[in-house]
Amino acid sequence: MAAALPAAARLWRQPARPASRAVALPAPPRRACVRGEPAEGGGGGRHDTRAPLRTSARRGAMGRAGRRLPALAAVFYGALAALVLLGVRDVLFLYEENRCSMTYMYEYPEYLKIKLPKKTARRYPAYELYLYGEGNYAEENKNLLLTGIPVLFLPGNAGSYKQVRSLGSIALRKAEDVDFKYHFNFFSVNFNEELVALYGGSLQQQTKFVHECIKVILKLYRDQEFAPTSVAIVGHSMGGLVARALLTLKNFKPELINLLITQATPHVAPVMPLDKYLTDFYTAVNNHWILKAQDLRNLTTLSVAGGFRDYQVRSGLAFLPRLSQHDSALSVVSSAVPRAWASTDHLSIVWCKELILATIRAFFDLIDENTRQITEDPKKRMSVLHHHFVRHPAKTFEENPEAFTELTGAFMWIPVKASKWTYSVYNVSNVFFLIVFLCVFFLLMSNFFFLLRILMENISHFLLQATENHTVMFTVKTDTSSWIYGCMNSNSSMCLEATDLSWRAELLPTTKVVILKLQDYTSLSHIVIQVPPTVGNKYTLDCEFFREDSRTVQLPVTHLFSFGLSSSKILLNSTGLLYNVQLQHFNRIYQAFKIYIESHCQSLKERKPSVYRLHVPWSHEDSIIVAKVPSFTEISAKLHIAQPQNDSRVPELNIYSSSDCQYEVILKTSVLQVLGQIIRFHAGALPVYVVSNIFLTYGGQLSTLMSTGQCSDFPLELVRTAKPYKVEPLISIVVFLQGFNWFREIWESLSLPEVDAAVLSSQDAWFPLVSLILFVFGTGIAYWSGVFFSTSLRLFSSLWLTLIRPTVLQKDNKLITPRRLCGVLSLALVSWTTCGAFAVFIIYLQYLFKVIKLHVNVRAEQNMLNGDSDCSKETSQNSSIYTVKNQSSTDSTLKATQSLSNSTTIAEAVNSLKMHVTILNLFTWIVLLNLPSLIYWLKNLRYSVRLDPDPCRSTAIILVCILEILMNSSTSEVKSSKLLKIAAKVPLPLSVAMLAFGRMHLYKSQKSAQHLNFSGI
């Protein structure tokens, strides 16, 4: 009998096995346990050793099979976790280098606190308003006699009011350049660095405070000659959303703001929808801007996204909702902004010098000379923003440019017999004009003239057809003045009057380009290029006539499942200045490619760099790379916005090439970047998939407990029960049926919300396999989080055993005691009077402490049981030698019986421990989702003891009551429950509901967990 006990103890330490191998630990025959022990009722006889050997062999084979399955599962889920980490690595680390320059203050920055009305200060004690200044300018503004143009900066999530310094400093330098004819006063709001991107309870409060600040700011200018009637707003991150929310206030006058610039603001949806207040705030703002779009036409809005360097707010979220896109709204990515051409991370967008310069230049161009404030003309505001943020023509903005310009001078003609030619000049101190006749080229110079001309009879065939089917293209080095003109119907060798065509040009890095379709300029007889002085520099002009279709090449992209093993390739023998490579079938956000461009040239002479631009026609998200020639360049091709359904345009790779060079373009699917796109667009939904997998595992444990009487380990049960086919087909069927009106009417009559997958599909952020991929990723994360959690418990219990002597396992027959009831009431009071997340965190720590304590006691009892078994075995052997001592044999039997009882208690404790570990693992994710509101409450504790509004107050009270019961229950009580059969079936529908409605509403996972824990009772 005694020899059976070590084996039983070892069995309880192993993972749970199927029912056929479950051990009920009955009192076995003594001879089956101890070979040297005599049979009952007789002396020593032959010992039957075959049955123990067969049992041992069977157990060994089954143990090897049982060990093989966890090993394979660990390898499989380890591979899944590795894929997730590769995607995270692509998002967080594999992006273009930071090409932004840092902005510097030339004088010490100062922030003057603006005194607010007592009522406002009392209502919003945590918020403040500041005025930015430097040096003498700051000293002059201390008396608040302001004469400039007011601009209000709103920081974002955990942002500081001091982030206004880059805008304020560069605007001050720009004002000095114009002798303070115009200048701006930059104000900034201190939101106490609140985590409004994760806790939405304070967004409405911030919006109302900004309204009060606008009224205070405008009062500061009340007695000035050019007093402003509106304020321009620059909002970073969530500050831009707060600015948009101003228009939803009932008592807000829309004319108080006429210009809004947002930087990396998630307009479409929250990055992490952790509470109902956050999602409701977004819904209210976006619905207002969509339904009241016509009423907002007086407000000009610019949204600037950071590009792929910004992993906190992906650029797709920063684009204003499409239905609100009207003539006064514009969305761009910083990589496409002229003269910046750089992606920015979430913080550098507020100090990136190139981007801040574009913003300040736009501010000064927006000034109305009559009112000395920002113009009230919406068309001019949009023209200025397009000029600086979309297509810069390489010249200073002019509101009403002159229709014609006078050109004077003498002319000299020199023949040029080529359709493509290059003109270079060194160290010229005088301005001269290079004149191109549409079929005859000629050059005009001031004081020193010579003329280039091609006679009609010497023009090639395609030039004769240029008036309808050809394009003329000029490229020159950069300059910011007018440089290209069109002469109207001049038949002489002089062009006295011309129209300015510089507005048709486009500024690119190292060059400026103008492409003219000749069919649009049939009335022009000459093209005139003004060459500026080039003292100490080289001026280069490239010109050619070409057919557009001859420079357009189609390149089909590789399939997603080619995994980079196949490629698409084209070879361009450059004879011109521009090639357009159309990327066919490149229109979805989950597509990602690597484009390799290798340039070879026939000669080694110095050449101007090549410019590669990835142009996305349906959104302003272009990216530009400058490469030396010859060179090997790698370009990442992926989208922020999917192609709209009604848009048939194709993304293009524009290659501004060098003549007589060969370009080889190779395109391959990038698996790592595909994973990165999945993580970038759907990482916020991964907690939902993890919790859904835990739900399924918990249901499997309840089913195993009901059928075998034992609770299986979390990792093994996860492998067995967490299958995507249990949940995904049902959601897909519902999404499919919602396409029918009759089903949609029934669905709405039941007051059920729309399935998140359908909403994401309407936003072009969903594709058929993404849910399956995310579910498998969630399974891998759940598996390794469970392993990590169990390992951490073992480490804590080991530390506990070395420091504290464990207590004896005791069975508590009462779930509710006066002491526990008082604890529940105390935590409920804490939740109601302070913060619900604080009460949840306390009950979590209490639960964690009890589970660690249970783990310590189980390990201690198992160690004691092993020691007792060895002692019992030794006593039994002694009794077989000294048979005359019958009393010793009786004592051995009593000890074995006691050890058997202890092993049964330990087995029940082990089952309970497995169940508690699963519940605690689930509860850990719930606590993590509630941490933002807890952090917010702790930061604002000095202002208010009670968090209001509290997103988890009522949920916390229910969770405290449920978990207080669960942490004191055992599997024996669960097995005896009549509702166990029903409770085992509850997790599956909860898992389906989580995936159907929780992807865009993470806070719903708390309610699902609440229902699951309730079913566990």
Question: In sequence order, which ranges of 834-885 are alpha helices (DSSP H)?
Answer: 836-881
Tokens of 312: 């906190």
Whether 406 and 442 have beta carbons less than 8 Å apart is answered as no
What single string gives the DSSP state of each residue in 465-480?
THHHHEEEEEEE---S
Distance between CA atoms of 423 and 450, rounded to whole angstroms? 13
Burial tier of 395 (Cβ tally within 10 Å: 0-12, 13-18, 19+): buried
Return the percent helix, strand and coil in the chain, to nearest 5: 45, 20, 35
Whether 756 and 1003 have beta carbons less than 8 Å apart is answered as no
786-811 residues labelled b (16+ CB within 10 A) or e (exposed)? bbebbeebeebbeebbeeeebeeeee
Q: Give which of 480, 465, 337 is closest to 395, Cα–Cα.
A: 480
Distance between CA atoms of 455 and 20, rounded to whole angstroms? 100
Tokens of 279: 């999602």
Is 899 in the active site? no
CA angle 852, 855, 859 (to 5 degrees): 140
What is the 3-class SS of 500-568, one letter each residue? Answer: ECHHHEEEECCEEEEEEEHHHCCCEEEEEEEECCCCCCEEEEEEEEEECHHHEEEEECCCHHHCCCCEE
Sign of the alpha-carbon dihedral angle for 567, 568, 574, 577: negative
Question: In sequence order, which ranges of 93-144 are alpha helices (DSSP H)?
Answer: 118-123, 135-140
Whether 388 and 365 have beta carbons less than 8 Å apart is answered as yes
Q: Residue 554: what residue type?
A: Q
Q: Give which of 1016, 772, 940 is closest to 194, Cα–Cα.
A: 940
907-932 residues labelled b (16+ CB within 10 A) or e (exposed)? bbbbbbbbbbbbbbbbbbbbbebbbb
Burial tier of 92 (Cβ tally within 10 Å: 0-12, 13-18, 19+): exposed
Kindly list the distances between the CA atom of residue 16 and the CA atoms of 58, 65, 66, 70, 760, in Å, as whole numbers in the listed order. Answer: 16, 13, 9, 12, 41
Residue 576: phi, psi to the nearest 5?
-135, -160
Look at residue 371 and give its three-state secondary structure: coil
Whether 235 and 265 have beta carbons less than 8 Å apart is answered as yes
Marked catalytic residue, from 166, 188, 202, 237: 237
Q: Give which of 450, 447, 436, 452 is closest to 409, Cα–Cα.
A: 447
Residue 383: phi, psi to the nearest 5?
-65, -40
Look at the block and give the residue holding tokens 């157990």. 59
Tokens of 160: 């500081």
Beta carbons within 8 Å of 798's beta carbon, 6+ residues apart: none
Measured in Å, how far apart are the chain's first and last C-alpha atoms?
38
Beta carbons within 8 Å of 749's beta carbon, 6+ residues apart: none
Distance between CA atoms of 189 and 899, rounded to whole angstroms? 70
Q: Residue 324: what residue type?
A: S
Tokens of 759: 């909403």
Distance between CA atoms of 138 and 47, rounded to whole angstroms? 102
Residues designated catalytic: 237
